Amino acid sequence: MISRRGVSSILPLWLAVLILIASADAATYTVCPSGCSKSSIQDAINNASPGDTIVVYSGTYNENVVVDKTLKLVGINNPTINAANPSGNAVSITGSGVVLTGFTITGASTGNGIDVSNTSPLIFYNNIEGNGVGLRNTLTSTILSRVCFWGEGGVGMDKGKPVSPNNIVLGSVDYAPWLTARTINGKITKASPVVFDNPDAGIRVELSGIVYSGTIMGSAAYMPGEEPYDASKLPAIPIRYLDVILTGNPGGEATITATYADADLAYVAENSLNLYVWDGSNWIAATDTAVNAAENRVSGKFSASLLTGSPIALAGKDYSVTIEPASSPVPYATKPVLTTLQVESIWDLLTAEYRIDGGDWNIISTGIYAKSWYYPGWSITDDEWASLGPGSHVITFRFTRAGAPNITETWLFVKSMDTNLVRLITPNGGEVLKRQIPVTITWTMPSSASVSGVVLSYSTDGGKTYPHTIASIMGPATSFTWRPPNIATTQARVKVTVIYETGAEASDTSDGDFTIQKGYSFTAWRPDFGGYYTSFRAWLKPPYSFRAGW
């Protein structure tokens, strides 16, 4: 997100640099409705010298401002310049080297929001709305008015664009990219979930798990045009940039959904699309990314703390590779089969090859000459499988393309020589267990690596179902002490299920039935007959007897 100072009180880096490099004699004037050195923007301008900076805080200033010298005007928390004379110019810029940023400029309903003459100012991060003409440039040279909101004109991706009849641009002005939402898009008080939805901009932000600290403010906008920040570090091809900014320290998680056009798929493969946020030094990819091809939408999750002043890129690669095994990626005792081996590319595919553990390349397919290729049920050969020892192995796929770099993708699997990946040792059939008498359940697994837990359950119908949970154990355990329940059955069996960090499972059960014997429960008490002691007997039979007396 591009950081707009209408929302945050932190100056953007480029502006901070501009202020820092000002001459040693430059002064800074502050303007606010009360308590600052000035309460009028024009008064501050009149008293300032060329090279000075004027910082204007939140409020509405009913003035027709004339900037006739080299000054930097910085708005903090979105101050409004409202033209006192609606037929005049809300802001007239005649001085050279003027910077104007962070304002809402409005009220010149029959005049100009900003009128530029005899100079080439820099105009950034402003809301220019409610004027007859948004910006008028009388120069033949082009002036820059970048990343501004131009009112409610336009529809779809032209939302916020300076188009007739609202805030049009006259003269030579470079105004792209523009924002499709005001720099402050509204205030959301405590509610969950909090949603900033800007369908015209093709972007939606939903917050969850919020820790509130006052009011949350936010905006969401589409930024057509140039690349922001260090786009060269983006690990994918950008098809558009988005602008989202949140204030109020909401915490929690943000789910961002962005739309794309069919025309964008001329540059990237649809299944490769993802969202990335710039954190100041790197592009961070969204998690839990989902592509909805039917609705041309991509969604992904970020920590809400990242959405404080950097752009978001919707980007993809010029190809996508999908590899899905027929069974879960646990250690394989038989050679793995891929139910899905699929490649999409915006360039024609020529050949498909593979190699195992860095060995020689082997041909899968040649003469493809298509932008997609699909091979369900692919696997290595029986001889290749037989030649591999137990442990981890890597299959590398290579796809050559016409006029584009090769695609390489790897898939990791683990081979096990044990045909029973998880083996239950005891109880394994024939045992006679008694209720509440401890018995140790034991089992083995080929490796404890990547095991997240073990679930034990038992059956009373000879292994047809295992509806009863004995224990859920964290980590790669191989034994558990069990006290059998108070039931009578001759068809008991135990099942052990090992759960891997990938979500995959492997299990084994008792080979045969075992018996659980039921016992009897009773309570003995001493009756009270007016202080006299009495004697009594109690027999429980069969199989137990009990005698109590006083």
Closest by CA to 103, choosing from 139, 49, 50, 65, is 65
pLDDT tier at 261, thresholds 50, 70, 90? confident
pLDDT digits (tens, 9 = 90+) for 488-540: 999 999 999 988 776 677 888 999 999 999 875 444 444 444 443 333 333 33
DSSP summary character for residue 150: -
CATH number of the structural domain 13-179: 2.160.20.10
Residues present in the chain in total: 550
Domain boundary assignment for the chain: 13-179, 187-316, 319-415, 423-517
- What average pLDDT does this structure show over 135-153? 81
308: pLDDT strictly greater than 70: no
The larger pLDDT score, comparing residue 12 to residue 519, is at: 519
Domain 187-316 listed as CATH 2.60.220: yes
Tell me the backbone φ, ψ of residue 256, rounded to 5 degrees.
Answer: -110, 130
pLDDT digits (tens, 9 = 90+) for 190-209: 344 567 666 656 778 887 77
CA max distance for the chain: 119
Among 82-86, 287-291, 330-334, name the one with the lowest average pLDDT: 330-334
**Topology, domain 319-415:** Immunoglobulin-like (2.60.40)
- What average pLDDT does this structure show over 137-159? 75
Options 3.30.70.260, 2.40.50.100, 3.90.1150.10, 2.60.40.10; CATH of 423-517: 2.60.40.10
> Per the confidence metrics, is the pTM higher than 0.85?
no
- What average pLDDT does this structure show over 35-57? 93
Q: Do domains 319-415 and 423-517 have the same CATH topology?
A: yes
The larger pLDDT score, comparing residue 118 to residue 235, is at: 235
How many angstroms separate the CA atoms of 163 and 153, rounded? 6
The larger pLDDT score, comparing residue 154 to residue 192, is at: 154
Tokens of 550: 């006083």
pLDDT tier at 25, thresholds 50, 70, 90? low
Q: What is the DSSP string of 224-236?
A: -SSPPS-GGG-SS
Tokens of 44: 């501050």
pLDDT on residue 235: 87
**Average pLDDT taken over every residue of the chain:** 79
- What average pLDDT does this structure show over 64-79? 90
The larger pLDDT score, comparing residue 274 to residue 253, is at: 274
381: pLDDT strictly greater than 90: yes
284: pLDDT strictly greater than 80: yes
pLDDT digits (tens, 9 = 90+) for 426-466: 999 999 998 888 999 999 887 777 788 999 999 999 999 99
Q: Which residue has the tokens 């009773």?
A: 522
